[in-house]
Amino acid sequence: MEVELLAWFAQHARDLPWRRTRDPYAILVSEVMLQQTQVERVVPRYLRWLERWPTTEALALAAPAEVIVEWQGLGYNRRALTLHRAVRQVTELGWPTDLTTLPGVGPYTAAALRNFAFGDDVLPRDVNVGRVERRTGHSFDGAAAQALMDLGATICLARIPRCSVCPLAEACPSRGTRDEPARRQSRFEGSFRQRRAAALRLVVTSPRAAEELDPDAVGSLERDGLVVVDHGVVRLPSEP
């Protein structure tokens, strides 16, 4: 199956900027941004981020407040701070052998770094890769990682798989099978996540009196290190 998959990928690969580098820092930025955020939204923000902070050393020198401001619009703002902490650790100590010791780096992100940056034969299994392997009943190696991601994102879709144009369909035992609907993510509109985001956007603009803001949202943001409350004024953190 690898031969057919890689031949398809050679013609249909998505042109994504993080595929043009082996720099572990750039790949880490892309992987953190891609967590729970669509590729189309990430691409311009990734390019802007690397233009502003092209190296680990550059980002390590940034204040947390700068990082939070630059992250606005990508959602799940805690990712910005964990990325910042991870990069500061790398700048001080180098890339660890066990990448999961870095803040915010779990098994999947570690596998992605090992494959895309360091060239190890490991397969990062995201939802799309896992779906293709489950449906085909085939275990792929690390060389097929990017191809599997594209196949799962564009052809081997969960609800309406495009089997008629799939390069693996002929040998796939699950051809035509649709997955049951996954549990839908809770709505953002009217949620506590929205309240947090709204409060943070106001503080990003300028420090605010605590009494002007949603107290529960501010408390949650403070616990996550995204804001500091000092003498009744809510502001972005200058340093951790």
Residue 31 annotated as catalytic: yes
The 3-state secondary structure of 25-67 reads HHHHHHHHHHCCCCHHHHHHHHHHHHHHCCCHHHHHCCCHHHH
Q: Where are the domains of the chain?
A: 23-116, 127-171, 192-235
pTM score: 0.90
Model pLDDT for residues 175-195, shown as the tens digit of each residue:
988 887 666 666 767 788 889
Pick the catalytic residue: 31, 92, 170, 239?
A: 31
Please enumerate in sequence order all residues whose Cβ is within 8 A of that of 196, keeping only pairs 6 or more positions apart, or say none. 217, 220, 221
Model pLDDT for residues 203-239, shown as the tens digit of each residue:
999 999 999 999 999 999 999 999 999 999 999 998 6
Superfamily of domain 23-116: Hypothetical protein; domain 2 (1.10.340.30)
Please enumerate in sequence order all residues whose Cβ is within 8 A of that of 22, keeping only pairs 6 or more positions apart, or say none. 116, 117, 119
Please enumerate in sequence order all residues whose Cβ is within 8 A of that of 211, keeping only pairs 6 or more positions apart, or say none. 232
Q: Where in the chain does DSSP place strands (E)?
A: 208-209, 228-230, 233-235
Encoding tokens for residue 85?
């902490």
Identity at 93, one-letter amino acid code: L
